[in-house]
Structure 1
Amino acid sequence: MEKERKPKNIFVQGPISPEKIANSIANHASKTDIGGHSIFLGQIRADQKQEGKVIAIDYTAYEEMALEKAFEIREAIFAKYPLTCMHIYHSLGEIKVGEICLFVFTSSKHRKAAMQACDESVERIKAELPIWGKEILDTEGNVWKVNT
């Protein structure tokens, strides 16, 4: 009997720590049917805007809807690619320049499936999840971020 998959909480309050990333990688060492992993780490950039320089992004989300959409994306990616594992974590709250705000980790028997699944997942997360980022500027102003 196949186990029923349920939406997982993808949200992390604050930045995604290097320890969380390292532990996630280490936890897969016992899964000996995996031959390749692909990891995407989204980091906050110090973009220069007309109004000032970005020093942080404050992320908010329509959490219930975002979790449902993330679940739909995850299920579609699992149906399309022969994955062993897939993990998605997205920050909420204020994330400073240089900190990690998105962590997508896919694993498969072969590298190509892991890489393609990771890439497609990131693109869909950026395009489809109801998550908003307000860029905090060094001039005490704020600008709503537009995903590109």
Structure 2
Amino acid sequence: MSEKKIKNIFVEGAISPQFIAESIAKHSSKTEIGGHGIFLGQVRKDKIDENTVAAIEYTAFEDLALEKMHLIREDIFEKYPLTCMHIYQSLGTVKAGEICLFVFTSSAHRKPAIAACEEVVERLKAELPIWGKEIFEDGSHQWKENK
């Protein structure tokens, strides 16, 4: 593993619109950036077997997830000419309609930023030990299948 510090991607609870806006605004001074790739994951109010999802409770094997995310981050920086990459994943309970994942990549040009953002999201979903328990309006719950 490289000498770079492992970044913590986890935040407690929902990711607020204000936090997202401030993160984007901080990049206006970085005038070498010409494009951003942004993905926002939002909890859906799905109906499953007559039950409606009210929230998802996210848990993770944090140490392993952070190590794997560090390796993914290094792979992405090697593959794409990015200026920066930011990843925030909720832990704890996030209500339907709230943001649970924020991935933000920046590059001199739009195509690498967009491609890198998409790859980060796909790899995060496939490779990180993060789980979601769907909490239904009636109080029952079940583990969510990652799609």
Unaligned runs of 5+ in 1: none
Give matches, 1:28-47, under 5 Å: 28-47=27-46
Residue 51 of structure 1 deviates from its aligned partner by 5.3
Residue 141 (structure 2) pairs with residue 142 (structure 1): yes
CA distance in 2, matches of 1:73, 1:47: 30
Aligned position for 2:6: 7
Are the aligned partners of 1:51 and 1:137 in contact in 2 as well (CA < 8 Å)?
no
Q: What is the 5 A alignment of 1:112-127? A: 112-127=111-126
Question: What residue number does 1:81 align with?
Answer: 80
What TM-score do the two structures reach when normalised by structure 1?
0.96
| Percent sequence identity over aligned pairs | 66
Give the distance between the partners of 1:83 and 1:138, measured in 2 at CA: 42
- The TM-score, its normalising length taken from structure 2, stands at 0.97
Deviation at 1:19, TM superposition (A): 1.0
Residues 24-58 of structure 1: CA deviation (Å, up to 9, x unaligned)? 10111111100000100000000111151100000
C-alpha distance after superposition, 1:112-143 (max 9, x if no partner): 00000000000000111100100000121101
2:50 and 2:141 map into 1 onto residues whose CA distance is 8
Moved beyond 4 Å, runs of 4+: none
SS of aligned partner of 1:74: helix
Structure 2: runs of 5+ lacking an equivalent: none
8 Å Cα contact 1:62/1:130 also seen in 2: yes
RMSD: 1.1
The letter of the residue matching 2:127 is: E
Alignment partners' CA distance in 1, 2:58 and 2:29? 34
Read off the aligned partner of 2:4 and give its amino acid letter.
R
- Figure out how many residues of one structure are paired with residues of the other and give that number: 146
Q: Secondary structure at the match of 2:29?
A: coil
Shift of 1:5: 2.0
Tell me if the contact between 1:51 and 1:139 (Cα under 8 Å) persists in the aligned partners: no
Match of 1:26 in 2: 25
CA distance in 2, matches of 1:42, 1:35: 23
